Structure 1
Amino acid sequence: MFPSRIKLITALLLAGFAAGAHAKTELLVYTAVEADELAKFKAAFEADNPDIEIKWVRDSTGIITAKLLAEKAAPQADVVWGLAATSLLALAKEGYFQPYAPKGLDALTPAYRDSENPPRWIGQRAWIASLCFNTAEAAKLNLPKPSSWADLTKPVYKGHVVMPNPASSGTGFLDVSSWLQMWGEAKGWAYMDALHENIAQYTHSGSKPCKMAAAGETVIGVSFAYRGAKEKTKGAPIEVIAPSEGVGWDLESFGIVKGTSKLEAAKALADWSVSRKANEMYNEEYAVVAMPGIAKPVPNFPAGIIDKMIKNDFAWAAEHREAILGEWSKRYDGKSEAK
């Protein structure tokens, strides 16, 4: 009896040690990357790092940014990944991130990263504003195809335009920021006043206006090229349009949260995120990535959209973000969808 009990205890202890040896490090990662892409990134990273498991917390850019700021005194995330560079810049000023130079950093475009050395944040890929125009619905209503931002203020489009709320959507913010940068504050706000007259609704997601256009729920969705290209590839009767005046954009970026207890795992994710493999995956859906020489054309992206990307002042956008959002909400929030 006694030897049997010894054997049982020994077996249990060995099983416990084995389980401990193979326990994975769970990495809590806050992200605004589109939900339909997260599974492939998780699978690819975990295949290369089998001792680490990613747990995503995903929401729109504004929601994730607000959550991070609310947790500033006691951060919960280990890594912020795929969030707008303008948000990471604002958070970096609060001392939110652990500076780190991932292995392979020198292979990236220098403009797509923090200027500090080592960097506090690093860009991954750009998402770019565009219009999703439902040709079938437009034909029913005898509406012309828009080619510019200015076109959206024409009375013929009244009630047929949906765009994202910039307070919750990074796409909405890059739109507003780009208009103010292109035209100056007076003309930029005057444009938004005129556009507001035609807006049916402001959504809390950057993808939703394009999804609505693809489904025939609106004629024009102010969105971004990734979502437009994806909906068109699936067969939606839409054209994806890059307005002639120029288009706003932002960088999906990542940073390691200062004070994380899982620093080595966080560094492993950072190293993987600047790799050629990761950049090739970014390019599967986005036309502009941080590693030069990687990007290939993405089906159904608007022709010439890269040439229309404005010279974006991320520092200015980050510095004025709260003031811009406050002014926007005061003027236009009455047409926002319920949260």
Structure 2
Amino acid sequence: MKNNIFKTCLVLSSAFMLTACGQETSNTTSTKDGKSSNLSGELTVYTAIEEELIPQYLETFEETYPEIDLNIVRDSTGIITAKLLAEGKNTEADVVWGTAASSLLELDEKDMIEGYTPKDSNKILPQYKDNLQPEKWVGNTTFMTGIVVNTQELKKRGLAIPKSYEDLLKPEYKGVIVMPHPASSGTGFLTVSAWLQMMGDEKGWNYMTKLHNNIGTYTHSGSKPAKLAASGEYPIGVSLVYSGVKQKQEGAPVEIILPEEGLGWEVEANALIKKEDKESDTLAKAFLDWAISDEVMKKYYEANGFSTMKNNFEQLEAFPEGVEEKMYADNNLKWAAEFRSTILEKWEQQYGQKAEPKE
């Protein structure tokens, strides 16, 4: 069989091959190194990994498990999280791959996560995985927020390059800033969460109210503000560092600014969905083992400039220096998960009117 990537018509936008979501019986013979050419069947994987990265990451899985058909359901973190919460125990997902750890913690509160410690989990640094055994979630990489600026467009408008979050409040930036909607985008939520943790509740909300005056629109994707900055439509985008790097690599006149206050960040993590029907467990655990294997961990690093495991990977030239040092040290994912619904409800009431139309 050939591994197929699909997107459900309800939540996904671009064209991948559509496959059915049913489960097939799996053959479970394994090799000594944990890999198997005999495993077969279908596995449904929910993910928020950036669309263009999924085929790159899956190359080694397809080589190792050619008889497993993967049904990939992909959308932004907020939408995938909402979909899982809405589906509850009836979800078709067998595995969640590359989705915010705070979202997985919220799913665990609903008793939707099964503990499983993948092979080689000991290589993952403790701050990037669950501290319980068996582990409810294990991280692949982190994603973090930077400020992506179109230097040509700012120069044309006579505007200086902002160096901090505080700078974004200056009146000259009114209408030229775009950032992700926190309910739709994991990047948006980690940014809001970071501001509230860095500044405290009162100052954080006051900051967002002032920033709202300068915001042109809130996007439903964490990468879209970088793309809008690259095009010049909105010269300043609060966006994924990765997305800014990608635009720069493609020749856009952008720079990625690491705000002086520090970077909000989130762990991109994996988990096993708790199901009464254990038919897919063998395939799901094989996938989770693969998801933190050395080969794909290197690919995560090459895409994001960060790894959750001890490594000697070469620093990537395209990434701005000091990303790891700038990551907000006191980031509390459990706090973010606990107050996510409350934060999003208040944010929507106060700022949601500037959200772009949903496609």
- Common fold by TM > 0.5: yes
Q: Distance in 1 between matches of 2:217 and 2:321?
A: 28
Change (3 A) 1:294 1:70: farther
The one-letter code of the counterpart of 1:331 is Q
Partner of 2:5: none
Say whether residues 1:187 and 2:206 are aligned partners: no
Offset of residue 23 of structure 1? 9.1
Residue 76 of structure 1: SS of its match in structure 2?
coil
Q: Which residue of 2 aligns with 1:322?
A: 341
8 Å CA contact retained: 1:121, 1:253: yes
Normalised by the length of structure 1, the TM-score is: 0.92
What is the deviation of 1:301? 1.8
Q: Deviations over 1:8-33 (max 9, x none)?
A: xxxxxxxxxxxx98894111100000
In structure 2, the partner of 1:284 is 302
Displacement of 1:54: 1.6
| CA–CA distance in structure 1, aligned partners of residues 270 and 255 of structure 2 | 31
Q: Does 1:334 align with 2:350?
A: no
Alignment check: 8 A CA contact 1:229 1:299 kept: no
Q: Which segment is superposed worse, 292-301 or 66-75?
A: 292-301
Distance 1:184 1:23 in 2: 50
Q: What CA distance in whole angstroms lies between the structure 1 residues aligned with 2:74 and 2:312?
A: 27
Q: How do 1:167-178 residues align onto structure 2 when only pairs under 5 Å count?
A: 167-178=183-194
Aligned to 1:267: 285
Instruction: Determine whether 1:68 maps to 2:87.
Output: no
Q: Which amino acid in structure 2 is aligned with residue 338 of structure 1?
A: P
Distance in 2 between residues matched to 1:297 and 1:193, nearest whole Å: 37
Give the TM-score taking structure 2 as reference length: 0.87
Find the aligned partners of 1:59 and 1:297 in 2 and give their Cα distance: 29
Which residue does 1:94 correspond to in 2? 110
| Aligned residue runs from structure 1 range 7-22, under 5 A | none
1:35 is aligned to: 51
Check if 1:138 corresponds to 2:157.
Answer: no
Report if the CA contact (8 A) 1:148-1:244 is conserved.
yes
CA contact (8 A) 2:153 2:232 kept: yes
Runs of 5+ consecutive residues of structure 1 not aligned to the other structure: 1-19
Contact 1:276 1:291 in 2 (8 A): no
Query: Could you say which residue in structure 2 is the equivalent of 1:107?
Result: 123
Aligned-CA RMSD value: 1.4
Partner of 1:16: none
Return the letter of the residue paired with 1:328.
W
Find the residue that maps to 2:213 and give its secondary structure: helix
Identity in percent? 47
Is contact 2:39–2:65 with CA below 8 Å preserved after alignment? no
Cα distance in 2, alignment partners of residues 118 and 129 from structure 1? 31
Aligned partner of 1:120 in structure 2 is 136
Task: Report if the CA contact (8 A) 1:283-1:296 is conserved.
Answer: no
Distance 1:295 1:279 in 2: 10
Question: Going by fraction, where is helix more abundant, 1 or 2?
Answer: 1
**Is 2:217 the partner of 1:201?**
yes
Q: Structure 2 stretches of 5 or more lacking a match?
A: 1-25, 28-37
Mapped to 2, the partners of 1:56 and 1:136 lie a distance apart of 38
The structure that has the greater radius of gyration is 1
Q: Does 1:308 align with 2:309?
A: no
Q: Which runs of 4+ in 1 moved over 6 A?
A: 20-23
- Paired residue secondary structure (1:201): strand
* Counterpart for residue 158 of structure 1: 174
* Aligned residues between the structures: 320
Paired residue secondary structure (2:209):
helix
